[in-house]
Amino acid sequence: MAKVRVAAFSVSVDGYGAGREQSLAAPLGRGGEQLHAWAWPTRTFQKMFGNADGTTGIDDDFAAASFDGVGAWILGRNMFGPVRGPWPDDAWKGWWGDEPPYHSPVFVLTHHARGPLAMAGGTTFHFVTDGIEAALERARDAADGADVRIAGGVATVRQYLRAGQIDEMHLAFAPALLGGGEALLAGIDLPALGFAVARKAATENALHVVLAKGARSPS
């Protein structure tokens, strides 16, 4: 059965999904690059940048699984780019160059209308101005029976969590302290939303935890 899921979402030990002072030069905020140190070396992520090599093992298994079975994506506007307010023009096309890693329809939450943006490799960005429910409905239709992945950022994941719309989350807890930024789970009662730990695995680079609704926690 198709799921709405969060996958390969990196969080600091003190609970932040992004650091302070996010900017064009530092899109993950101060110290935020530490959160993804587990992912960058993996074969899955290196292939996205045209490199043939990369690490294998548990980290790469989780990285690869994060793309498996995904038919559509949802992003917050901040994750698409640093532009704020009305779009001044169509010059900004995302952080990823001419061929983004999504290879499927992507629905970007925004308050400001913009026409669809087709990119190489099968990614088309659609800009949704009528809220998270409308974006999810469109994403489900586009996914055509496959999963919808809520890619982030933190505020977007929190909105879908509070709305009860996420079925599964894979969080990668990085061995880093940010001391501030965007807290992912502050004030959110995951057990009350039906989540339990379904799987866990540790590497030198991250503690991987999969939370799923209705799961029985592993012993």
Could you tell me the domains of the chain?
4-16+30-83+100-213 (3.40.430.10)
pLDDT at 58 (0 to 100): 98
3-state secondary structure of 159: helix
pLDDT digit string (tens) for 71-129?
A: 999 999 989 988 889 999 999 999 888 999 999 999 999 999 999 999 999 999 999 99
Mean pLDDT of 20-31: 83
Q: What is the pLDDT of residue 218?
A: 62
DSSP string, 31-66: TGGGGGTTTTTBHHHHHHTT-S--B-SHHHHHHHHT
- Per the prediction, the chain carries an average pLDDT of 94
pLDDT at 157: 98
Residue type, 70: V
Residue 16: the pLDDT is 97
Spatial distance between the Cα atoms of 47 and 45, rounded to a whole number of angstroms: 5
- Tens digit of each residue's pLDDT (9 = 90 or more) over 147-168: 999 998 999 999 999 999 999 9
Angle, to 10 degrees, between the axis of helix 154-162 and the axis of helix 132-143? Answer: 90
Selection from 183, 181, 176 nearest residue 20 by Cα: 181
Residue ranges in the chain assigned as alpha helix (H): 43-48, 58-65, 77-80, 132-143, 154-162
